[in-house]
Amino acid sequence: MILITYFFSKWKNHQTKEQFLVANRQVGWFMGGSSIAASWLWAPALFISVQLAYEKGLAGIFWFTLPNIIALAIFALLAPRIRTLFPDGYTLPQYINKKLQSKKVHNVYLFPYFFYQIMAITVQLFAGGSLVSLLTGIPLVAVMPMLAIIALIYTLISGLKASIITDFVQLAMIFIIGAIILPMTWKVGGGFSTIRAGFMGIENIKHIFDPGVAFSFGIVTAIGLIAGAISDQQYWQRTFAIKKNQLVKAFLFGALLFGIVPIALSTLGFLAVNPELNITLPTGIDASMIGVQTVATLLPSWAVFLFVIMLLSGLSSTLDSGLSAASSLWVTDIKKLKDDEKAIKSARYAMISVTLLGLVIAYAVYLIPQFGLFHLWWIFNTIAACVVVPTILSLYWERLDARGVFWGVLTAFIVGLPLFIYGNIIEKPVWIVSSSLFIIAISTVFCLAMPQKNTLTAIE
């Protein structure tokens, strides 16, 4: 990845802020769609999808995959809209600041947007480190900084352009290696009959629309995933980088490419259900590694090596995208730099700082064994849900007012988020679902209850 990035960047003697942060806004639909899919193929898609197939069968993978696809496809509506309203933008918080003219709202928005990128980096390091540690025996504390440094180096070279180029290569590796490894695993595992036998998962859930799964998992997952994508600067950054007339095609193409991967990987979870295959995780290993353990149990070491490369490609694509997105937030919304040289230098410093912070949090997660990848994923998606309604309203409702956004988001943070965390601690689905719905409802109510008195809100 480092060599590929260097090759595509070596002819550029001088970079501009526009090149580094939004690739000159000249990204085509094919490269853009591939980058969108690769960036969304992060730890949850690669690991939790298999875990859910293993635990909850078809119901689990259905409620995971469908909201994921919708989360990307919805940008086919949102992306052209924001490019019409704010054609020269860089970040979503920047647009909100211009739209509502409120420093308080802008600051409130920056918290979930920065937090999401930091957590994306943390999750990729933790999941990727766990993967390598599981298969090699190298301590997790040593693996995580290695992964961080590799992604950091090639992203420092040329920013978003590096992310998009490597995303395309990594996505190609995922599809090529997957087309080799998965059929081998199916054959050794007993074929379609064995896969079909695992459709109910270890929890023996008989129906894909099982009301228990839909209530306890489906609702929260749908809210979290859709809110997560809308509150993720990675996709707004690509929105501003892809050619405007190709945005719809790019996001629909990306959603389709993404959906193929978790559906294909879910078969590993179905196979692991079969007790005759004797697929068990070592003590202390997170349940999200069940797909890796399936491949390691059934296939020779060279195949496992290829599978690791495939999974690391997905993790790295999101890792570098997170670094690039965080740097655009820093340069645009914090430093507000316009000079090319200063902006690029500041963006690179931001990438280094965010990498270190994500690494520190990954170590903290490692030291809390009862706090796994699944819980981390749910929490930062719930934080993202606090701003999803105001974001959509800002694009389509002219009377949206800064007061309603501020108090709605703040109440969701202060009341809804603690309730959600508490619900997870006591493991009560009613609390978890109710708190998720409360976050969406309260932010909506405040926005609608405090409209602007006039509608002169167009952004010049």
20 domain-assigned: no
Q: What whole-number distance in Å separates Cα of residue 79 and Cα of residue 238?
A: 9
Q: What is the CA radius of gyration of the chain?
A: 21
| Total number of domains constituting the chain | 1
Find where tokens 């996001």 sit: 251
Residue 27 β-bridge partners:
242
- Work out the angle between the directed axes of helices 247-272 and 160-189 (0-180°, nearest 10): 30
Domain membership flag for residue 4: no
Q: Which domain holds residue 209?
A: 27-372
Q: Which of 334, 353, 330, 356 is nearest to 122 (CA)?
A: 356
The structure's pTM equals 0.89
Q: What is the CATH number of the domain that holds 326?
A: 1.20.1730.10
Residue 410 forms part of a structural domain: no
Q: Is residue 45 a part of any domain in this protein?
A: yes
Using the CB atoms, write b or e for 401-422: b if 16+ within 10 Å: bbbbbbbbbbbbbeebbebbbe
Residues 6 or more apart in contact with residue 263 via CB below 8 angstroms: 61, 65
pLDDT in tens, 299-346: 999 998 899 889 888 888 888 889 999 999 999 999 999 888 899 999
Say how far apart CA 30 and CA 257 lie, in whole Å.
Answer: 11
Q: Let me know if residue 59 belongs to a domain.
A: yes
Task: pLDDT band for 459, please (50, 70, 90 cuts).
Answer: very low
Q: How far apart are CA 303 and CA 295, in angstroms?
A: 8
pLDDT digits (tens, 9 = 90+) for 341-357: 899 999 999 999 999 99
Q: pLDDT for 14-42, tens place per residue?
A: 578 998 899 899 999 999 999 999 999 87
- Nearest residue to 436 via CA among 359, 384, 369: 384
Q: Is position 408 within any domain?
A: no
Give domain status of residue 405, yes or no: no
Let me know the angle formed at the C-alpha of 219 by 213 and 222, rounded to the nearest 5 degrees: 115
What pLDDT does residue 89 have?
A: 94
Q: Is residue 143 part of a domain?
A: yes
Q: Which of 2-6, 373-377, 401-405, 406-410 has the lowest mean pLDDT?
A: 373-377
What pLDDT shows up at residue 245? 95
